[in-house]
Amino acid sequence: MLANIQGQSFSKAAPSLLPSSKEVNEIGYTSGPSLDKDVLKEIQSLYEPRIAGVVPKPTGHPFKNLMLDEDITIENPVIRLAFSKDILDPAMDYFGNKVQFESLQVLYSYPTDGKLRESQMWHKDFGDNKSFHAIVYLNDVIDKSHGPFVFVSKSDSRKITPSILIRRIDDQRFLKELGDGEVKYFYGKSGESVFVDPAKCYHYGSRCKEGRLALFFTFNTSTPFMIMPSLIKKNKVKLFEIGKTLRPDLDPDKLKNLLRL
């Protein structure tokens, strides 16, 4: 599918300048900022009540995005966070400002048993060759029962057998291929975050025995392999107007490119 690259520039992106994005570029991940306590409480109060309406499915991805179209307002704390200097600036810097806002999710991962499925298995994201996740926990994730985000570094990911096919790898096979590489677990209190490139780093998540609630802000290059349906795509005009108000310091053309306008 080539339609998604029409009108895009193929000039070389600028190098990363911020310490956080430079570290993601070098090793594939870095610690992110912690949310202000009042902002955290506001987000929790909006989305925790929606968990009761989630109906777990026996197959497919074991999570549900709780964010709705009507949440795309300038007052919503998740939207304000998405355009903040803490989240947006490292993402834009990572791609040398040649970036698009791919998806915005308030993900509730529900408890599962039995055979691992989909994103619970080791994989790399396949929508682009370079990507940026900002993951923020909305509840404490302090042991394996809480379903932490688990990954290996950029260099250790190169130990895994390359394939032109999308791989979903079980633990036994993955650890054999990983050899002396190190598996990393992102444990944290509510409000803590991590930045990681899920296209470069093998990872899995949502192996929950207790529910997990987390924010996922995802950014890709301006020329991704594919563009998935998302709240961002559906609401890009509204988000552009919000972005102009929240970030008057940003060039409107950069915001347009970010939202593919």
Q: How far apart are CA 176 and CA 170, in angstroms?
A: 10
pLDDT band with cut points at 50, 70 and 90 for residue 14: low
- Name the CATH superfamily for 19-258: q2cbj1_9rhob like domain (2.60.120.620)
Instruction: Give the sheet arrangement for strand 149-151, strand by strand.
Output: 184-186, 149-151, 203-204
Dihedral over Cα of 2, 6, 11, 15: its sign: negative
Q: How far apart are CA 228 and CA 209, in angstroms?
A: 29
Output the pLDDT for position 236: 96
Instruction: Give the sheet arrangement for strand 131-137, strand by strand.
Output: 29-31, 193-196, 131-137, 212-221, 99-109, 63-65
Residue 223 has pLDDT above 90, yes or no: no
Tokens of 42: 């506001």
Q: How far apart are CA 71 and CA 50, in angstroms?
A: 13
Output the pLDDT for position 225: 78
Give the whole-number percent of the chain exceeding pLDDT 90: 85
Phi first, then psi, for residue 18 (nearest 5°) are: -75, 145
Q: How far apart are CA 197 and CA 132, in angstroms?
A: 5
Q: What is the pLDDT of residues 174-203, one digit of tens each?
A: 999 999 999 999 999 999 999 999 999 999
Output the pLDDT for position 12: 59
More confident residue, 42 or 225: 42
Task: Count CA atoms within 13 Å of residue 254 on its CB side.
Answer: 17
The residue ranges of every structural domain in the chain are 19-258
pTM value > 0.85 = yes
Q: What is the pLDDT of residues 70-122, one digit of tens each?
A: 999 999 999 999 999 999 999 999 999 899 999 999 999 999 998 999 999 99
